[in-house]
Amino acid sequence: MSVVEKMLMFVALLMSCSLMGSMAEMQTLPGKWRLNMTGNAITIVSESSKKCLDLPGGNANNGNLLQIWDCNGMKNQQWFFDSGTWRITYAGNSGKCIDAIGGGGIPAAGTKLGIWDCLGTDSQVWGYDSNMKTVFLAKSAANMPEASMCMDLAGGSNVDGTPIQVWNCNGLANQAWDINGAGPAPSPSPGPVTGVAHMTITLSGMIAGGSQDAILTYPNNAEVPNGGYPLITFAHGTDVGPASYQPLIDTVASYGFVVVAVGSCPFGECLNGWKDVWHAIDLCKSGAAYPKGHPGTKVQQLNSVNFNKVGLLGHSMGGGYVTAIASDPNAPGDNIVCGASLHGAPCSKYHTEGPAIPMLYTAGSNDRIVPSWVVHNVAITCKSKCDYELIQGVNHFPVTSGEATMAAKYLHGCIWGSRSTNASIIV
């Protein structure tokens, strides 16, 4: 029987299970970022549209709303965003600042951005994260420079004239901005790093059958941040071992994580496999893991792990596993902050409740193994702050590089940043 045939059998079992609960409020996450831009006149370019932040007509009258427009090098697309100022001023009039119009204090999601006299109000205090490429309202959380509101293309549209707004920081493409013309500056947190490395470790007590081994992936030749790298525990899909997911895992690790990918349950569906994915965290933390073939030897790479920040990542069956863990009330007690389920379709055999921690759910428009509506029906059971992304033209497997980057950026934002926000997003 082929892998695809086995996956089809798996999804048939999933369809027989009732999906959980009623609609819950869908939410996203803030980031914990610092201002790190320096330089003279700059342009602010939307990464998704390749268009520039534009002041229509160069009109600097208070209240003129910003938009994106084809980059043209003219003055109305030039800005000053110098380190230490925490403000973005118009190059055509240094007394005019980018402002969340009418916000005064901390504006609501959907507040439009425009030009206004520089007053130093919270709605004019901006920072930039060169890793996530987000321009954020630096005082949109309790403690500056933590932030929950980011510069956002309204509706995700890339057409000329699209207005600019603030929206809950989510690490998605319509919040990514390139700053051109500014000098280099230090990054606020790791990722992406220059390279990653791998090793095989042995874990004891795996109960789902098959291998007791796991692949450990970690940043290589990079300075370890204060406190260490957060740990991600990864769950593979049906009949597809962790080695087949190495490009996905490498991408996530490059954003400043150590990833452990268990190899148990190599064939078929294992109803208790999610317990191994969770148990791997405890084994890594306790020092019980050892390099393959060297029992009694410590895994030195685990010395650089910050076990106070743990994340989940899984695909297909593994996506169900991480939802099962995320639904367990004990997950926050193990410092599990958030997770990402890619094309996952769990049912009540794994869990009976909706996720209690923030989660990213992705689905592919061409996925016939786990259709997008199945993933969506899981995502709407979230009791916490979840994000659902339907990716056009994507099949079930393999995971595309774009989707891998989306998962990496989401995990980077929620684990390196603040854990929660009360602002909802549209699913």
- CATH code where residue 307 lies: 3.40.50.1820
Residue 412 inside a domain? The answer is yes
For residue 134 the two structure tokens come to 């987000």
Q: pLDDT tens digits for 272-321?
A: 889 999 999 999 999 999 999 999 999 999 999 999 999 999 999 999 99
270, 168: one domain: no
Q: Is residue 334 part of a domain?
A: yes
Quick check: is 57 in a domain? yes
Spatial distance between the Cα atoms of 214 and 204, rounded to a whole number of angstroms: 10
20 lies in the same domain as 38 = no
How do residues 195-235 score in pLDDT, each as one tens digit?
A: 899 999 999 888 888 889 999 999 987 778 778 899 999 99
What token pair was written down for 351? 């869990």
- From 183, 203, 228, the end of a domain falls on 183
Do 173 and 63 lie in one domain? The reply is yes
Question: What does the H/E/C string look like for 127-191?
Answer: EEECCCCEEEECCCCCCCCEECEEEEEHHHCCCCCCEEEEEECCCCHHHCEEEEEEECCCCCCCC
Q: Are residues 170 and 221 in the same domain?
A: no
Could you tell me if residue 296 is inside a domain?
Answer: yes
Identify whether 424 is part of a domain. no
Task: Name the domain boundary from 168, 183, 198.
Answer: 183
Between 40 and 2, where is the model more confident?
Answer: 40
Of 322, 365, 367, 369, which Cα lies nearest the Cα of 341? 322
Tell me: do 384 and 272 sit in the same domain.
Answer: yes
Residues 311 and 231 in one domain: yes
Same domain, 122 and 174: yes
Say yes or no: 214 and 236 in one domain: yes
Most confident region among 13-22, 227-236, 379-388 by mean pLDDT: 227-236
Same domain, 12 and 55: no
Residue 209: Cβ-neighbour burial (10 angstroms; 0-12, 13-18, 19+): middle
The answer to whether the CB of 111 falls within 8 A of the CB of 383 is no
Q: Same structural domain for residues 318 and 384? A: yes
Domain residues for 240? 3-26+190-416
Least confident of 36-45, 199-208, 239-248: 36-45
Q: Are residues 130 and 217 in the same domain?
A: no
Same domain, 255 and 165: no
**Which of 183, 214, 238 lies at the terminal end of a domain, its last residue?**
183
- Looking at the 3D structure of the chain, how many domains does it have? 2
Handedness of CA 287, 240, 206, 348 (dihedral sign): positive
pLDDT in tens, 261-278: 999 998 888 888 899 999
| 422, part of any domain | no
pTM for the predicted model, two decimal places: 0.59
Tell whether 426 is covered by a domain: no
